[in-house]
Structure 1
Amino acid sequence: MIIVPLAEAKNNLSKLVDDAAAGQIITIAKHGRPLARLVPVERPRGQRIGAMKGKLILTDDFDTPLPDDLLDAFEGHPA
Structure 2
Amino acid sequence: MAQVNMLDAKTHLSRLVDAIERGEETEVIIARNGKPAARLVPIETKPDVSKRLGLLAGKYPDMSLEEFNEHDAEIEALFKGKDDEGW
Q: Same fold (TM over 0.5)?
A: yes
Runs of 4+ in structure 1 off by over 2 angstroms are: 45-50, 52-57
Match of 1:19 in 2: 19
Please list, as runs of the form range in 1=range in 2, the aligned pairs for 1:1-40 lying within 5 A after superposition. Answer: 1-23=1-23, 24=25, 25-40=27-42
In angstroms, what is the RMSD of aligned CA positions?
A: 2.3
TM-score (norm 1): 0.60
Tell me, which stretches of 5 or more residues in structure 2 are unaligned?
62-87
Distance 1:55 1:48 in 2: 17
Match for 1:35: what amino acid? A
Distance 2:15 2:60 in 1: 48
Distance 1:26 1:47 in 2: 30
Match for 1:11: what amino acid? T
Cα deviation digits, residues 21-73 of structure 1 (max 9, x gap): 1231100001100000111122313534242256357xxxxxxxxxxxxxxxx
Structure with the bigger percentage of helix: 2
TM-score (norm 2): 0.55
Tell me, which stretches of 5 or more residues in structure 1 are unaligned?
58-79
Please list, as runs of the form range in 1=range in 2, the aligned pairs for 1:34-49 lying within 5 A after superposition. Answer: 34-49=36-51
